[in-house]
Amino acid sequence: MLKLACEFLKLSPEIYQRFREPERIVKVNFPVKMDNGKTQIFTGYRSQHNNALGPYKGGLRFSPMVDEQEVKNLSAWMTWKCAVADIPFGGGKGGVIVDTKKLSKTELERLSRAFVRAIAEMIGPEKDVPAPDMYTTPKIMDWMVDEYTKLAPRTVLKDTQGLSLATQTSVTLATFTGKSLNNGGSEGRTEATGLGGVYILEALAKKKKLIPAKTKIAVQGIGNVGEYFARHAEKLGFKIVAMSDSQSGIYNASGLDTETVMSYKQINGSLKNFPGVKAISNAQLLILKNIDVLVPAAIEEVINKKNADKINAKYVIEMANGPTTAEADKILEKKKVLVIPDILANSGGVTVSYFEWYQNMHNEKWTKDEVLAKLKPKLVKAFNEIFKIVESKKVSMRLSAYAIAIKRVLTAEKNNALK
């Protein structure tokens, strides 16, 4: 997609080659004392793709699947995501190769703190701002902030001379987002990604003149993102007819009550044997007939060359990261299925992360209503800008989104060079 967008913009091959690789990637090997008294060496990465728009921004994941290529790819993806959302961040990503299920709570804390010490020189509120990602949590961010604060005299605080102690502390907190509410985290962050997707759904409905009560939606994956998408879409009158978790799915053409579904899931651990509905698999959910909007909100590459031609929905809103393969993209485009790309659809989370950073940097605290009131116009504006190119140039939403993102980064680079 990067190559296609560069060709669409008639950019030189050199620009494409430059954007393919991060500006910097660091591999660290660091020791952690385990509960048995032995020391284990862990490997971690931090990739910094581009900072033309602002500090590098991106999550930290703790997973056995972490590798250098993955964090490089994801850091590039974050660059375009932040640019599409028009927030002053660049793209970064990091992680540690570890199975957190095999760690005790104390080992997890020591790992988190040790990793921060290993990458401390790379990060900072105006350098690189990490956040939670796969198998990392607000609690882990709190540990990282605490550890980073101990290192602040040689990192952040040298840049905060003259500020009050309260402001100094707040700026230090801005080095991480996704923190707990009592440690500088932002109101509204929990539901921001899912709710942001519903703001995009609203904008789409307005453009395509969709009537909510007659618009049937299938949501694959009811983790945090899928749950809040389904709940808020239902509040606006849209009809949620299918939902699934990792083990099973349910379908009711007349509509599902999301509160009842989520309560059942919480009590029983899955949607298996949910009463009064048709049981379906995740694979079947994707190709349901008589649905208007398909919302993949779970894992990557669920829409691929094997099932893309069987997709019946008219619209796909990508709430998961990378749920559609490149081959599937081409098939869906030929079928005239409108795909709202992940770098737009699920950008509500990183946008509220920016709000958290801003609040910390300015020693402010916004209410949830204030946060969400600021979120909606940013996402709707991004949608409309992308859709304008779709209509005028007859290209896909994804190509349009990448073209806008690349142009913003190039403009920022030129402006920075003039300073």
Active site residues: 93
CA gap 382, 375 in Å, rounded: 11
Token pair for 146 = 């605490």
Give the count of beta carbons closer than 10 Å to the beta carbon of residue 376. 18
List own/partner pairs for 289-294 with CB under 8 A and 24 or more apart: 290/216, 290/253, 291/216, 291/217, 291/218, 291/241, 291/242, 292/210, 292/215, 292/216, 292/217, 293/201, 293/215, 293/216, 293/217, 293/218, 293/238, 293/317, 294/217, 294/218, 294/220
Give the count of beta carbons closer than 10 Å to the beta carbon of residue 240. 22
In 206-341 the beta strands, taken as DSSP E runs, fall at: 216-220, 239-244, 249-251, 278-280, 293-296, 315-317, 338-340
CA gap 416, 284 in Å, rounded: 50
- The single-letter code of the amino acid at 323 is P
Dihedral (C-alpha) 313, 314, 317, 318: value to the nearest 10 degrees? Answer: 60
Closest CA to 183 of 148, 133, 146: 146
Between strands 90-97 and 338-340, the pairing is: unpaired
